[in-house]
Structure 1
């Protein structure tokens, strides 16, 4: 009897085990089939588009659309550009679909590729600006993430269907445009299409920039808040104008610090500059406590690669277009929970290129610069030392489209006890007492946070920013053996990239 029961149990276990594993196998097959279908559709579009480029009207529209830089790159998102008209009154889609034998099938292909994008690269002798649409007929390359990962060649086609093998790493000398998926936008609404009735529903897809750094057109919806605890944050703010006069001797050049509170803290040589910026604590004026202000927040002001090798690491694929630097700012709260704020920075390889500079009319040594100042600094968050403690972690990568993966990073912060929730009779709130940790005991909170990335993105590693690190340290020369001396801004260094982070006014 025991043997019968045991045998029955084994059979049931095998049955349910097989039943459980079945859908995973089916999903893998469906995923593979979907990728193959996607690749086949892109290939058919690419070959059709290559033939259509013989039409000068197609080239003219494409150049015009690329120059709009709707996502801050020379990307033509086909779904948003296909109805653009030529001088003859025909749309881009009408002109291209004239080069296919089955227009209905071609429409279905376009519908199945909502992020289909035509990228006009910046080559040595060809770019959106330089494109002579009367005479230059580019070939069309099809970007394949899996081919790039496997070090396979980049395939390109001309109007006659001839195949050319290019390199992802080496820029071509002749004109080329690239068919790819757009990594800077996402579909904000699903378009309805019925093969049975052969027509679309009454609405088109709408598209959303994945980050405010990638929104350069009203054709794109504002990005979602990327503040993962769902609090509302401003994505960016204009940096205050640099003052013309400092409040101390101009030879110190502190007037180059644009924000009032950090400039004062620097001038007064305060031991803890952020204590003054965020809490108004100023021992030189006998102000030993203060409540958190809402006037300032931390901002990413500039980025700089650590060296030329680090820059080469993220610029080894010319089909990728402009760089998408993704910064995840991760904090731990006093209760042990975590918060992650994701920011995107768009720039070109030229923006970060190390260039040798020499002052005019001087014999001073040439010096290297490669710092890119963001047109609009990216606001992160005001630094509530009671809530977030003393340390923020920055996890940085250069994003490339690919299969989504995750990494786990450990995050910790120290929390001091020099805060009080109720001071006096009429004043209610969280007050900080004393500079730094105030000589009180500290408690460390740690947790692990999952960060999303892709298998093709370049990891630029991690860096830590401490609340008590000086925002600005004593002045340094602008170049070797030169005068004047400028205040030195602290940077978060990951080993591959440096982020200049400082508090700026948000009012």
Structure 2
């Protein structure tokens, strides 16, 4: 006989499942009504009350029919996905709309059988970076690599921003709603807005193509997988987990290892040796341009469910909601979690105070697969997988992310790094001021014939404080994960043993200090040689 605690637990589980089912049904009814409304509004040319989610559903319902009826349309999508123009299996609609099948019909003409011309124009106008994403699903169920276009007719999912549920369309119309923690075990492609390619007329970004929407451009060069001659090149992500396979140290750590040996912890600043060759036997030295700061590794911190949900609060991001089926049908390792959007994108903002009293904000990005950040397991339940457990994993970058060269004659002795998970591209720039500390022990030395740092640390001269003004960028909708402070005088290494080797790397990294962390993440920062 079950005890009272077990009965209460069963009742709570049943209540949760019933609640989930009712919510899904309500969403289905609501979204079906919205689909009818968007059809009416679009057909009448009225877009006042039409959201981007409604536009994506309109497009997705038509695209499902096109994929079902035309093998060559499937071939076009697969071919373009394999090019990975932004390092993910993303296909921009604007780049394939004029591709023709053997009958001479373009993809756009095939869509116009199910969408009026004016409606399709509105969709493209409002979502110029409309994208068809081909996910990598568990156990080789489906991917761009394994897609057999002859017998695999994918359904079409729509990544929403207004809901975490995922509507699925087939040739018959809206077929079902997937819960946020469910991963399909059947062929499916995803209609979404691209986070790595945006509408931009800026000359500072690499243009993907020119069109009447001012052109599409990569958000950052780290997402640009096009060669200079515009031939599409497939390059797999170099941001991987680590292993203990190499017995040879990465040569970029040579100077760092020397600093660890020549300047033991607590006896001086190891970066003095790296950037100026300063040690107990060599008190002065000019700046060395062969080294700069790098971001070598990254991991999410703390409770894994909280970490996943923090960076996945947008409806389209990979999410974890626990096991809601109550049925475990054999544990499997999930390869395709985060299936509706591929990789995570992270924005790194480095704030460096300059002696000119104007601070610099250096911005760069990196991308990581959900399955490289989290060890996720799930249960197969019919034609879906249900995620029910996960844990954080450390990522070491085979290509570390360059930040800046830390010359104390120009920059403050303290810098700040802020991290965001990218969900949007609308940026607001604000002015911020702070007081920063600068070293003054610099002067011309005839022996070197240039300005040198005079002594370790702050030398015999007094340090100075200045108020520095920054232009600080904030992106609306991004998940802000906090800031870390790095001091020039911080010890760099825990010891000179191996921290691990990136999975596709040749050498191991030295065991860097774990001190740069917030409640959400941890960074591994160290200088390294540039060549």
In 1, Cα distance between equivalents of 2:468 and 2:455: 28
Match of residue 379 from structure 1: 402
In 1, Cα distance between equivalents of 2:457 and 2:376: 39
Any gaps of 5 or more consecutive residues in structure 1? Answer: 1-31, 191-200, 222-236, 238-244, 246-252, 357-367, 480-484
Aligned with 2:275: secondary structure? helix
Q: Deviations over 1:122-147 (max 9, x none)?
A: 332332223332233232233232x1
In 2, Cα distance between equivalents of 1:98 and 1:423: 74
Aligned with 1:277: secondary structure? helix
C-alpha displacement of 1:383: 0.2
Structure 2 contact 61–173 (Cα < 8 Å) conserved:
yes
Q: Deviations over 1:161-209 (max 9, x none)?
A: 235323344333433322121110123449xxxxxxxxxx998964322
Structure 1 contact 475–486 (Cα < 8 Å) conserved:
no
Structure 2 contact 350–363 (Cα < 8 Å) conserved:
yes
Structure 1 contact 61–92 (Cα < 8 Å) conserved:
no
- Which of 454, 459, 464 is 2:480 aligned to? 459
- Which of 61, 80, 83 is 2:76 aligned to? 61
Structure 1 contact 186–210 (Cα < 8 Å) conserved:
yes
Structure 1 contact 66–74 (Cα < 8 Å) conserved:
yes
Aligned with 2:183: secondary structure? coil
In 2, Cα distance between equivalents of 1:407 and 1:174: 46
Aligned with 1:343: secondary structure? strand
Q: Deviations over 1:330-384 (max 9, x none)?
A: 111224321101110011011222499xxxxxxxxxxx98222223222111001
Residues 295 and 407 of structure 1: is their aligned pair in 2 closer, same or farther, counting only changes over 3 Å?
same
In 2, Cα distance between equivalents of 1:505 and 1:475: 17
Residues 35 and 175 of structure 1: is their aligned pair in 2 closer, same or farther, counting only changes over 3 Å?
farther
Match of residue 218 from structure 1: 227
Match of residue 352 from structure 1: 373
In 2, Cα distance between equivalents of 1:409 and 1:495: 24
State the TM-score, normalized to the length of structure 2: 0.68
In 2, Cα distance between equivalents of 1:436 and 1:106: 64
In 2, Cα distance between equivalents of 1:65 and 1:205: 22
In 1, Cα distance between equivalents of 2:403 and 2:105: 42
In 1, Cα distance between equivalents of 2:118 and 2:228: 26
In 2, Cα distance between equivalents of 1:477 and 1:321: 31
Structure 1 contact 139–156 (Cα < 8 Å) conserved:
yes
Aligned with 1:58: secondary structure? helix
In 2, Cα distance between equivalents of 1:95 and 1:161: 20
Match of residue 184 from structure 1: 196
Residues 341 and 377 of structure 1: is their aligned pair in 2 closer, same or farther, counting only changes over 3 Å?
same
Q: Deviations over 1:221-242 (max 9, x none)?
A: 8xxxxxxxxxxxxxxx9xxxxx
Q: Deviations over 1:92-116 (max 9, x none)?
A: 5256335336447535643553211
Aligned with 1:468: secondary structure? coil
Q: Deviations over 1:272-303 (max 9, x none)?
A: 221111111122xx211112121111111221
- Which of 328, 338, 342 is 2:349 aligned to? 328
- 1:20-419 to structure 2, matched below 5 A, reads 36=50, 38-54=52-68, 55-84=70-99, 86=101, 88=102, 90=104, 93-94=107-108, 96-97=110-111, 99-100=113-114, 102-103=116-117, 106=120, 109-124=123-138, 125-145=141-161, 147-148=162-163, 153-189=165-201, 206-218=215-227, 255-256=249-250, 258-270=252-264, 271-283=268-280, 286-307=281-302, 308-309=304-305, 310-311=307-308, 313-315=310-312, 316-317=318-319, 318=338, 319-354=340-375, 370-401=393-424, 412-419=435-442
Residues 50 and 470 of structure 1: is their aligned pair in 2 closer, same or farther, counting only changes over 3 Å?
same
Worse-matched range after superposition: 89-98 or 494-503: 89-98
Residues 38 and 254 of structure 1: is their aligned pair in 2 closer, same or farther, counting only changes over 3 Å?
closer
Q: Which has the larger radius of gyration?
A: 1
In 2, Cα distance between equivalents of 1:76 and 1:413: 46
CA-atom RMSD, angstroms?
3.8
Aligned with 1:386: secondary structure? coil
Aligned with 1:162: secondary structure? strand
Q: Compare relative contact order (CA 8 Å, sep 6+) and give the higher one, 1 or 2.
A: 2
In 1, Cα distance between equivalents of 2:517 and 2:106: 46
In 2, Cα distance between equivalents of 1:33 and 1:399: 28
- Which of 411, 423, 433 is 2:445 aligned to? 423
Match of residue 365 from structure 1: none
Worse-matched range after superposition: 131-140 or 389-398: 131-140
Q: Deviations over 1:417-460 (max 9, x none)?
A: 2222x33398243x211111225433334556564444432221
Any gaps of 5 or more consecutive residues in structure 2? Answer: 1-45, 203-209, 231-237, 239-245, 313-317, 320-337, 378-390, 501-507
In 2, Cα distance between equivalents of 1:53 and 1:312: 33
State the TM-score, normalized to the length of structure 1: 0.71
Aligned with 2:423: secondary structure? coil
Structure 1 contact 331–411 (Cα < 8 Å) conserved:
no
- Which of 469, 488, 495 is 2:511 aligned to? 488
In 1, Cα distance between equivalents of 2:201 and 2:487: 41
How many equivalent pairs are there? 415
Q: Deviations over 1:256-284 (max 9, x none)?
A: 5633321211232453221111111122x
Aligned with 1:258: secondary structure? helix
Match of residue 250 from structure 1: none
